[in-house]
Amino acid sequence: MRIFVTGGAGYVGSHCVKDLCENGHEVVVFDNLSLGHREAVHPRATLIQGDLANTDQLGKALASQRFDAVMHFAASAEVGESVRDPLKYYRNNVANTLNLLEAMNRAGIRKMVFSSSCATYGVPPEGQAIVETLPQSPINPYGRTKLANEWMLRDSATGWGLGSCALRYFNACGAAADGSIGEDHDPESHIIPAVLQAALGIRPNISIFGTDYPTPDGTCIRDYIHVEDLASAHRLAIEAIQPGVAMAFNVGTGNGFSVRAVIDAARRVTGRNIPVVEGPRRPGDPPMLVADPRKIKEELGWQPRWTDIDRIVESAWRWHSTHPNGFNDDPSKPTAVVTGEAGSPAGITS
């Protein structure tokens, strides 16, 4: 297939592009590079530097070739920022997705895989693994924008025959097994790279927010899904989409690891002391968020390969220990062919 990937220079997007290219698909990445990295884009992909807010630019990009499908990753993705600046999130996540869907309709493209989130569920019943039939009641603007996009996909299935699949991620983590690409955010808010930055001395310590949760060690439990397993889920989803059908799946391992377990794994993998500072709970943090992934396993035949926390952390350490400054450490890496012009600062890469 020839696939148009928005936000394909970002963390999850670039790993999905790598997986697609290495499995015989043709890929064009559309990214404004405001948070993404051109060095992260697979050399066999074409990179168009552009912005979803620029509808003329987007339309020309989609009309430049005959695309079979779209993967949509471009979004703003920080929960705390979404509370402070909700309109930014509705603009980047909802309005820009509307632009993309309208452009797809005009171009006759009827397949989309959408990067959604378990944040659409809000706070699940305590101690319960999350299934797709649970009510979607997001508690922050980020989750609400992801849910609004899922509504657009469902309505577009009926309205103009769009076939779609919303993949609701849990905690994306890890790096490419070959060490070629990994996570590079500024600032970094994800726990595994933050812990590894503490191991490298880039940050003085790692903070634990809340040690009195009703969990075995008192810290929050999360489902950590390796980015290469996310990539295979996207590939299987895009191959399974049917016109006029809106699908949705949780993408997680079904295993939960506590904050302390992640820190302990990083200590084992790196062999370094990692200072910890304990603090109070953050508002809105549920004690446990773990997926029930049976639906995607049964319907798409997907199986996660990365289920051991030490292996997950080890893959991330392979990247961070050789790229402590992210992609700035590897200026000679071959990059994708770049076409197009720079866009405005909206449509940020996830």
Among all residues, which ones are annotated catalytic? 142
What is the crossing angle of helices 11-22 and 227-240, to 10°?
A: 60
From CA 211, how far away is CA 96, in angstroms rounded? 39
Residues 6+ apart with CB under 8 A from 215: 221, 258, 287, 288
Q: Please state, in angstroms and rounded to a whole number, the distance separating the CA atoms of residues 296 and 116.
A: 14
Cβ atoms within 10 Å, residue 250 = 27
Question: Pick from 40, 48, 3: which is nearest to 21 by CA?
Answer: 3
Residues 23 and 31: their CA atoms lie apart, in Å, by 22
Q: Which of 169, 144, 166 is nearest to 156 (CA)?
A: 166
Per the structure block, which two tokens stand in for 70?
């779209």
Q: In the β-sheet with 257-258, what is the strand arrangement from edge to edge?
A: 257-258, 221-222, 288-289
For residues 220 and 286, the answer to whether their CB atoms sit within 8 Å is yes
Separation between Cα atoms, residue 314 and residue 267, nearest integer Å: 11
Quick check: helix, strand or coil at residue 46?
A: strand
